[in-house]
Amino acid sequence: MLLNELQIIERLTRDDETRISIKPLIDLESQLGPSSIDVRLGTEFKVIRRQEYTHLDPLRKLDEIKPNVKRYAEEVLTKFDPRDGGFVLHPGEFALGSTLEYICLPNDVASRLEGRSSWSRIGLMVHVTGGFIDPGFHGTITFELCNLGKVPLQLYVGLRVAQLAFYETLESLKPYPEKMYTKYFGQAGTIASRFYEDYEFDILRKLAPKD
């Protein structure tokens, strides 16, 4: 069931483990919609660098692939002060960002991240496919930012670029923190992909030819 604004407020004000927590919630009146809450752009971005790599091979040893992925996504920090210039996302570019807010979901609520219409109409995509947030998740939410427009977009900390919708579910048998492979629980800031930690790569590495 999709929660409406009254149900969202009720969840935000509970004082037990079924509460939805969003911090900081700067202005509930302007951020709350009929069935969603707007979330803001944080201070940290990761820009993808192509110059050093022909590809990323997830079958390499973990101690080799992990630093490669870290170097592949260069960290860019921005300030709250708009005079600093913000972050410029050029047409066709891909970058990672994150919410300013730290989100805590209870074990019976899932969420979905969606772009705000005003930004999508000028070409800003806030997620590629990773828009679903499992029950029990705690952390900032990563934006997969892409500029599909024709002109550069100047992005500033605190802009409401996306929204979260919430879905009430039966309490999860294994909420996000209890899953075997939980790579992003408790994340703060913008976290690069940890795709190489997926369990299927453990199997493939054992089958791959040794160097």
Question: For tokens 């000028």, what's the residue?
Answer: 122
Provide CB contacts within 8 A for 169, sequence distance 6+: 108, 109, 110, 135
In Å, what is the CA distance from 134 to each residue of 10, 15, 67, 98, 101?
A: 20, 21, 28, 17, 17
Residue in the structure block whose two tokens are 């807010």? 101
CB proximity list for 193: less than 8 A, separation 6 or greater: 69, 73
Is position 197 annotated as part of the catalytic site? no
Name the CA radius of gyration of the chain, rounded.
18
Residue from 5, 10, 93, 144 carrying the catalytic annotation: 144
Under a CB-based contact definition with an 8 Å cutoff, are residues 104 and 141 in contact?
no
Active-site residue list: 144
